[in-house]
Structures are given as structure tokens and as C-alpha cells.
Amino acid sequence: MSKRTIKDYLLISAKGLGMGAADVVPGVSGGTVAFITGIYEELLTSISNINFKAIKILNDEGVKAFWKHVNGWFFVSLLMGIVVSFVSLAKVAKYLMEHEPIALWSFFFGLVAASIFYVGKEVKNKDAKAGIGFIAGAAIAYYITILPPLTGDSDSLLMLFFAGMIAICAMILPGISGSFILLILGAYQTLMIAIDSMDLVVFAVFAAGAGAGLISFSRALKWLFEKYESMTIAVLSGFLLGSLNKLWPWKHVSEVYVKHAGEPKEEIVHLVENNVLPSDYQTFELVGDDLVYSSADPQVAIAAVCAVVGFALIFGIEFAAKKLGGKPEEK
């Protein structure tokens, strides 16, 4: 196996940029980008290698052996890209969500739609079982996108621990957004308030749940890839299809949550929204506690262009990956 070069690690950081950009947008999963850029299985393997065996290697063989076991430089490169993306693109994504939502959702709709074909090509055994897995994955993801959020905040520490476990699992599954799962579980508001007020106890419990979920779920997914690769990929590509319901650009918002109410940095989070036809699209304004709707331009032409750009980007990534000569592995 060839040793990775600086160029290879820069490419991994670029993929991290894409994962971070996806995770900033509620409804889009960084796992989707990891999958379509060809680092998904390596990411799962690297996460699952953070275990008691890693601690034993550190104790018996030293830092160098430990670093190689956990694929340390892969993590560093990927996390650098994710962090840079969060810092540099968070404000851009927030602006687009507020001012150009149709263009943003259309771009991701095209991106994920193309990913279905891209990921589907990786299914080696295209038989009836794979077809059933694909349909099941699509149905599960679609069902998740239409679940209403639980009433009220989840302030139980045990509930927050499990919310962390479930949300982080969603974040590494293609097509399912961790932030959207938090909304469904009723934990989103609690976590946002905890972050704003620097409630370290709440945040630590959530982080512990996320860590436990990430390590255990990555092992389960790694095992599925090893034992049932075609079926697993078929189900994951089905997840992508089902998630398109969440990415539909034209939505009717019927319930919101206001972060930092009354402050200059007030932010409106969509809690409940339903897809509508472009002809029925309306914007809303929060007047007191009421949502006031008004007709708006559905921007169909802009949506079509952005969707085509997102669709074409996937095949551009595939072309670039072939030109760069595959995926070298580290010694």
C-alpha cells in the first residue's frame, strides 16, 4: 500500500470542507458528502479503531503505533477541513438560508439526487435483496423527514444523552441530518439554550452521548459493510432518495422556534414545515406570536439552475477523483 502524500491529505481536508458545509445546513448530512467523496468506509474504520485496543497499543508500543492504528493524520486532515468550513461558511450558509432558501435547497436537492445514481453504482450485487434494501432505506428516511417534533424541551439529562447518541448516528448516515433529528426529539432548543448559557453539564452529557453513539454505531456500520456490503450500500442509497423530501425547495412553515428572542441576533428556526408546489409557495413574517403569510416569487428558473449545478457537481467530483488516481492508503 502506498504512503499518502501532502497532496492526498490536502484532498482529504477539501472533503472535510464539503462535510462541514453540509452539516451547517439543517437537513443536510455530512455523511452524504463523506459517502460521495469516497472516504465513508475509511471514516467508519478509523472511528471504530478508537477503542481499548488503541489504549493498549499506546501503552505497549508508544505514540507512533497508536497514531497509525487510529489513522491519526486522516483525522487531523479531515477535522481541519470541517473546522475551517464551519468557521468560514457558517455565516454564508445562514445568510443563504434566510435570504436565498430556494436556491440553497435546490442546490442540495440536485446534489443528493445525483448522489443516488453515484452511490447506486457501487452496489455489486444488484438483485432483489438489494432492491428491497433500497426501497426500505427510502421509506425509513422519508418517514423520518415527516415526523413532527416532540412537544416541549427535553431537559432530562438521560434524554439528552440518548439524543446525543441518536443525533451523531444520523450525522454519519448519508441523507439524514443530525440537527433535524434533534428537532424531532425535542432536544434542539434545550441544547441551543445550553450552548448560549454555557451550561457545561448539559453540554458534557450531550457530548458523552454523541461520543458513545459515534464509536458504537461506526463499529456496527463497519461490520455491515464487511458482511453485507451490497445490501448496506443499497439501503444507504435509499436513505438518499428518502431524504429528498426534506430538501424540496418550496416549503410551507407552520411552526417556528425563536432563538435569542428580542435580541439583535434573534434567529427563527423552522420546527414544522410541509412541501408545497412552486405555485403555492409563500413567505412568512412573525408578527407577535403569529405567522403572517404573503405570496412570493417561487424562483423556478433559479431553482432549476442551482439543482443542475448541484447535480453536475457530483459527476465533476467523480471525474476529478479518477484524474487524481484513486484513493491511496496509508501504511
Residue 138's pLDDT band, with cuts at 50, 70 and 90, is very high
Q: Is the dihedral of CA 34, 38, 40, 42 positive or negative?
A: negative
- Model pLDDT, residue 330: 41
Q: Span 134-156, mean pLDDT?
A: 76
Cα angle, residue 143 at apex, residues 166 and 297 outer, rounded to 5°: 110
Q: What pLDDT score does 323 carry? A: 63
pLDDT at 318: 66
The answer, as to whether pTM is greater than 0.75, is no
Report whether pLDDT(305) > 50. yes
pLDDT of res. 327? 45
Query: Residue 38: phi, psi to the nearest 5?
Result: 85, 20
pLDDT value for 149: 66
Domain boundaries, the chain: 6-250+298-323, 251-297
pLDDT tens readout for residues 69-99: 888 899 899 888 888 877 777 677 767 877 8
Report pLDDT for 134. 93
pLDDT at 2 over 70: no
| Averaged pLDDT of the chain | 79
C-alpha cell at 159: 434524554
Per-residue confidence (pLDDT) for residue 298, from 0 to 100 = 92
Residue 193 clears pLDDT 70, i.e. is over it: no
Q: Is 205 helix (H, G, I), strand (E, B) or coil?
A: helix
Q: 291 forms bridges with which residues in the sheet?
A: 286
Q: Look at 63 and 329; give whichever has higher pLDDT.
A: 63
Phi, psi of 153 (to 5 degrees): -90, 150
C-alpha 138/C-alpha 68 separation (Å) is 37
**CA–CA distance from 142 to each of 91, 195, 242 (Å)?**
29, 30, 4
Virtual CA dihedral for 49, 85, 16, 146, nearest 10 degrees?
80
Write the pLDDT tens digit of every residue in 228-272: 888 988 998 888 888 888 889 999 888 777 766 666 666 677 777
